[in-house]
Structure 1
Amino acid sequence: MPTDPTARQVADLIARYTPEMADAITACRRKLCARVPRGYELVYDNYNALAIGYAWADKASASLVSIAAYPRWVTLFFLYGKDLPDPDGLLEGDGVRVRSIRLDAPGDLDRPAVRRLLDLALAPHEADFAAAPPLKTVIKAITARQRERRPA
Structure 2
Amino acid sequence: MSKTPSPAEHLKSFLEKFDPTMAAVIRSCRVAMRKRLPTANELVYDNYNFFVIGYCTSERPSDCICSLAANRQGVGLAFYYGATLPDPNKILLGSGNQNRFVRLSEGAKTLAQPEVQDLIAAAIAQAKTPLPKDGKGKLIIRSISAKQKPRK
Q: TM-score, normalised by structure 1?
A: 0.91
Return the offset for 1:132: 7.1
Q: 1:114 maps to what in 2?
A: 116
Q: How does 1:14-25 map to 2 (within 5 A)?
A: 14-25=15-26
Return the offset for 1:123: 1.6
Q: 1:94 maps to what in 2?
A: 95
SS at match of 2:25: helix
Hey, what's the Cα distance between the residues in 1 that align with 2:38 and 2:128? 12
Conserved? CA contact 1:53–1:65, under 8 Å: yes
Q: 1:29 to 1:93 in 2, by over 3 A?
A: same
Conserved? CA contact 2:45–2:52, under 8 Å: yes
Cα deviations across residues 35-63 of structure 1 (Å, max 9, x unaligned)? 11113100000000101100011011111
Hey, what's the Cα distance between the residues in 2 that align with 1:105 and 1:13? 21
Return the offset for 1:73: 0.4
Hey, what's the Cα distance between the residues in 1 that align with 2:51 and 2:134? 24
In structure 1, what residue type is equivalent to 2:102?
Answer: I
Matched, 1:140 2:137: no
Q: 1:38 maps to what in 2?
A: 39
Q: TM-score, normalised by structure 2?
A: 0.91
Percent of residue pairs identical: 35
Q: 1:126 to 1:97 in 2, by over 3 A?
A: closer
Query: Which segment drifts farther, 74-83 or 118-127?
Result: 118-127
Q: 1:142 to 1:31 in 2, by over 3 A?
A: same
SS at match of 1:115: helix
SS at match of 2:14: helix
In structure 1, what residue type is equivalent to 2:144?
Answer: I
SS at match of 1:17: coil
Q: 1:132 to 1:147 in 2, by over 3 A?
A: farther
Cα deviations across residues 102-142 of structure 1 (Å, max 9, x unaligned)? 11122100001101111111123497212575110000000
Query: Which segment drifts farther, 43-52 or 120-129?
Result: 120-129
Conserved? CA contact 2:54–2:65, under 8 Å: yes
Hey, what's the Cα distance between the residues in 2 that align with 1:94 and 1:72? 20
Conserved? CA contact 2:77–2:103, under 8 Å: yes
Q: Which runs of 5+ in 1 are unaligned?
A: none
